[in-house]
């Protein structure tokens, strides 16, 4: 795993080798899947602690790893890092789709959300509950099965396309960049973006895998 052993639990970037990233992602994904299964197998009634808080903590290590890797990919990339990103992005896209499109998990989240007015939550906890519920809804939880299949295909395509767009952006003319943005916008339109408009298309690679699960709500204008 990637070490957070520098002062103040910062990332020890000088100790990280490129060949550590892919195994670290696979390990973090496996751990997160086990955590999600524990939430789903909980026989108690859904509440804030065993569903919303548990979901947030279940993804903690994966989120930290994503922040490290994709910031390196943006700030100090190379061919090896770009290749890893191309491998990792579809895995992350599929993983987060498995979460937000999981009917049983969404049912637990919605059960807690529907009783939020009766819960004694701190402002921070209420915010997390609201954002968790919205993230599921905005990432396909309420779609019918056919639409969910389209959503999966679209987000998978976006996770690769936007990485390639960012990699090539510095080499493109303004007109070429415009055509690239238009293609991304057309794909986004299939997921319900009003007018196919996209804010900051170069960041779609990160949001498509949605480390916070908030993805498209922050993209569409």
Would residue 36 count as lying in a domain? yes
pLDDT score of 192 more than 90: no
Note whether 35 and 57 are within 8 A (CB): yes
Find the range with the poorest average confidence among 99-108, 124-133, 191-200: 191-200
Q: Is residue 105 part of a domain?
A: yes
- In this predicted structure, the answer to whether residue 89 has a pLDDT above a threshold of 70 is yes
Q: What integer is the mean pLDDT of 23-28?
A: 95
Q: What is the CATH number of the domain that holds 47?
A: 1.10.1370.40
72 vs 88: CA distance, rounded Å: 14
Residue 2 domain flag: no
Query: How large is the average pLDDT for residues 57-72?
Result: 93
Statement: residue 206 has pLDDT above 50: no
For residue 105, what are its two tokens? 């998990």
Quick one: average pLDDT of 39-64? 95
Domain membership flag for residue 60 = yes
Assess if residue 45 is contained within a domain: yes
Cβ atoms of 69 and 62 closer than 8 Å: no
Q: What is the pLDDT of residue 39?
A: 97
State how far the Cα of 128 lies from the Cα of 134, in Å rounded to an integer: 10
The parent domain of residue 130 ranges over 7-218
Number of domains in the chain: 1
Structure tokens at 187: 């794909």
Contact of 217 with 134, CB cutoff 8 Å: yes
pLDDT score for 196: 44
Asked if 1 and 24 count as a contact pair (C-beta separation under 8 A), the reply is: yes
Inside any domain, residue 86: yes
**Closest to 96 measured CA to CA, from 138, 50, 126, 51:** 138
Question: pLDDT: is 123 or 159 the higher one?
Answer: 123
Do the domain assignments include residue 1?
Answer: no
What pTM value is reported for the model? 0.75
Per the domain annotation, does 115 fall within a domain? yes
Q: Residues 109, 136: contact at Cβ < 8 Å?
A: yes
**Which are the contacts of 176, defined by CB distance < 8 A and separation ≥ 6?**
none
Side-chain half-sphere CA neighbours of 87 within 13 A = 14
Q: Which residues pair with 6 in a beta bridge?
A: 10
pLDDT band at 160 (very low <50, low <70, confident <90, very high): confident
């Amino acid at each position: 795993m990637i070490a957070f052993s520098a002062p103040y639990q910062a990332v020890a970037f000088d100790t990280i080798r490129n060949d550590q990233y892919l195994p670290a992602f696979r390990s973090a994904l496996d751990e997160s899947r086990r955590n999600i299964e524990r939430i789903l197998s909980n026989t108690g009634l859904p509440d804030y602690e065993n569903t919303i808080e548990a979901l947030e903590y279940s993804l903690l290590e994966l989120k930290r790893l994503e922040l490290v890797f994709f910031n390196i990919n943006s700030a100090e990339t190379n061919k090896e890092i770009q290749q890893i990103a191309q491998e990792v992005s579809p895995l992350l896209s599929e993983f987060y789709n498995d979460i937000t499109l999981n009917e049983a998990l969404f049912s637990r989240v919605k059960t807690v959300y529907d009783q939020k007015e009766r819960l004694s939550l701190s402002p921070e906890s209420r915010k997390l509950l609201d954002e968790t519920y919205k993230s599921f809804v905005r990432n396909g939880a309420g779609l019918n099965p056919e639409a969910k299949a389209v959503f999966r295909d679209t987000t998978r395509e976006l996770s690769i396309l936007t990485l390639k767009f960012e990699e090539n952006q510095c080499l493109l003319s303004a007109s070429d960049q415009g055509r690239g943005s238009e293609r991304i916008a057309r794909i986004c339109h299939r997921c319900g973006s009003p007018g196919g408009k996209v804010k900051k298309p170069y960041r779609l690679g990160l949001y498509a895998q949605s480390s916070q699960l908030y993805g498209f709500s922050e993209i569409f204008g």
